[in-house]
């Protein structure tokens, strides 16, 4: 009997030759992650159990990104706890405002997460790193506290579901559309506590940014993780990161795992996506995905382009391509948030930020901000937004009567111009 990529990674971190779905294991960790909301709780628990030092100061990442730059006194004190703990324990991967970014974009960018790694984070979208062939998943703050002290975490080995995408993605579609379409097919609990393994021709032709978008939203189907087997595109992404000064010091060995041909899956789903339209998820669930053309009468008040799902350079590039030489509708607030400081700098050099500003949008420093109703774009009563974020639950971005639609960056940019949900083809030649 063969094994899946997920089972192989978990087994390698237990020292066992193999593991099977349903088995409870204790595994060594390559990285533990916390942010300004979740890490203070973990730090409190860490101190309450009497721990004196962290297990490895080079395997912990603390990133203030949710309510930063500090929006109020409470958020300032949360960040203060993070900063003091990081300096007290000499944590290598602590990133202050001005040197940081949204955690799930920053860590891969800096080469801190690599193929074959086992990563936990006190944030549900930690599953993002599966795009590089790592097993990564979200945990609670108390699990993170224990990991700070021991370098280990317990898991129940998940079953795997395989998703095979046939065909080539049409123009204006991306990994974001694939995952919205998939969640629409299986539902928000369709992969409950399972590893979603993505493959097929369409996946092999995706760039890494689109792969990040897909694995990022595995949690929206209830999954334990999302994962894609590493290939030449993955390796080239890592090599390109390592050429940059900010990632050189993080070079280390990594291991490529792939699923066996006779590996067992709980379910296998196959989709022909050669005619897939850009997808938009309607309130109040990511699974409410529809072709963009069915929603052309929905007026909007706000557009958000950014987040750990779609705030990378390629996302900004396509939004800039749609917005270039055009103006945002006078009724619409358009907020663009590069996911990291390096993405911000690159977008500035490439002229994307000037395009956004000329169009009438604003550009923010990296922050999760509006995605979770934190700041930098809170919705008022009855307001409607279209966003490249990952969740559209009731009240997620502000008032309980507000509404959030989810889309890719091209659709969000086109909608900003039209003042309603729009296909990019409506505003481009």
Q: Mention every residue, 6+ apart, whose C-beta is less than 8 A from residue 338.
A: 101, 306, 311, 313, 316, 344, 347, 363, 364, 366
Q: Which fold has domain 5-250+265-269?
A: Aconitase; domain 3 (3.30.499)
What are the pLDDT digits (tens) for 70-109? Answer: 999 999 999 999 999 999 999 999 999 988 899 999 999 9
Query: What is the pTM assigned to this prediction?
Result: 0.95
Sign of CA dihedral 28, 33, 38, 41: positive
Cis? peptide before 69, omega within 30° of 0: yes
Q: Is the pLDDT of residue 369 over 80?
A: yes
Residue 1 has pLDDT above 90, yes or no: no
In the chain, the percentage of residues whose pLDDT exceeds 70 is: 100
Distances (CA, A) of 100 to 62, 132, 218: 10, 21, 25
Q: Which long-range contacts (CB under 8 A, 24 or more apart) does 275-278 make?
A: 275/167, 275/170, 276/169, 276/170, 276/173, 276/177, 276/178, 276/181, 277/170, 277/173, 277/177, 277/423, 278/172, 278/173, 278/177, 278/407, 278/408, 278/410, 278/411, 278/423, 278/424
Question: Hey, do 5-250+265-269 and 281-422 end up sharing a CATH topology, with the first three levels equal?
Answer: yes
Taking only the tens place, the pLDDT of each residue in 211-264 is 999 999 999 999 999 999 999 999 999 999 888 867 777 888 999 999 999 999
CB 411 within 8 A of CB 402: no
- Using CA atoms, how far residue 305 sits from 27, 82, 339, in Å, is 37, 27, 10
Joined together, the tokens standing for residue 308 give: 């750990």
Cβ count near 50 (within 10 Å) = 7
Q: Give CA–CA dist 340/305, Å, rounded.
A: 13
| Domain edges within the chain | 5-250+265-269, 281-422
Q: What is the pLDDT of residue 247?
A: 76
At 108, list the tokens.
């891969």
The CATH homologous superfamily for domain 281-422 is Aconitase, domain 3 (3.30.499.10)
Least-confidence region, from 117-131, 232-246, 318-332, 382-396: 232-246
Tens-place pLDDT, residues 8-27: 999 999 989 999 999 999 99
User: What gap in Å lies between CA 98 and CA 80, rounded to an integer?
Assistant: 16
End-to-end CA distance of the chain: 53
């Amino acid at each position: 009997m063969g094994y899946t990529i997920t089972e192989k990674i978990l087994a390698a971190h237990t020292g066992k030759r193999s593991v099977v779905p349903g088995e409870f294991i204790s595994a060594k960790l390559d990285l533990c992650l916390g942010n300004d909301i979740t890490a203070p709780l973990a730090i409190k628990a860490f101190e309450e159990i009497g721990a004196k030092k962290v297990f490895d100061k080079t395997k912990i990442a603390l990133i203030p990104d949710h309510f930063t730059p500090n929006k109020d006194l409470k958020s300032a004190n949360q960040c203060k706890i993070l900063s003091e703990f990081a300096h007290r324990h000499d944590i290598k991967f602590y990133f202050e405002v001005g040197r940081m970014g949204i955690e799930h974009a920053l860590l891969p960018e800096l080469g801190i997460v690599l193929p074959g790694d086992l990563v936990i984070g006190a944030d549900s979208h930690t599953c993002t790193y599966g795009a590089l062939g790592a097993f990564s998943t979200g945990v609670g703050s108390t699990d993170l506290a224990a990991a700070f002290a021991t370098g280990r975490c317990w898991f129940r080995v998940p079953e795997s579901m395989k998703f095979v995408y046939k065909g080539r993605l049409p123009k204006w579609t991306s990994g974001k559309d694939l995952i919205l379409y998939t969640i629409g097919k299986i539902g928000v609990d369709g992969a409950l506590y399972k590893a979603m393994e993505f493959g097929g021709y369409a996946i092999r032709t995706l760039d890494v940014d689109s792969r990040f978008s897909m694995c990022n939203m595995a949690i929206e189907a209830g999954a334990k993780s999302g994962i894609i087997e590493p290939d030449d595109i993955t390796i080239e992404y890592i090599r390109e990161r390592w050429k940059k000064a900010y990632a050189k010091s993080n070079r280390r060995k990594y291991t490529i795992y792939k699923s066996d041909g006779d590996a067992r899956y709980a379910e296998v789903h196959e989709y022909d996506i050669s005619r897939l339209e850009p997808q938009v998820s309607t309130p109040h669930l990511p699974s409410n995905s529809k072709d963009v053309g069915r929603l052309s009468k929905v007026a909007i008040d706000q557009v958000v382009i950014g987040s750990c799902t779609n705030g990378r350079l390629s996302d900004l590039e396509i939004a800039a391509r749609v917005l270039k030489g055009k103006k945002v509708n006078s009724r619409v607030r358009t907020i663009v948030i590069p996911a990291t400081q390096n993405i911000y700098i690159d977008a500035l050099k490439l002229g994307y930020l000037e395009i956004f500003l000329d169009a009438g949008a604003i550009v923010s420093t990296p922050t999760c901000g509006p995605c979770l109703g934190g700041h930098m774009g809170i919705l008022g009563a009855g307001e409607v937004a279209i966003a490249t974020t990952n969740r559209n639950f009731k009240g997620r971005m502000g008032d309980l009567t507000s509404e959030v639609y989810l889309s890719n960056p091209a659709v969000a940019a086109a909608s900003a111009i039209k003042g309603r949900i729009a296909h990019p083809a409506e505003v481009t030649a």
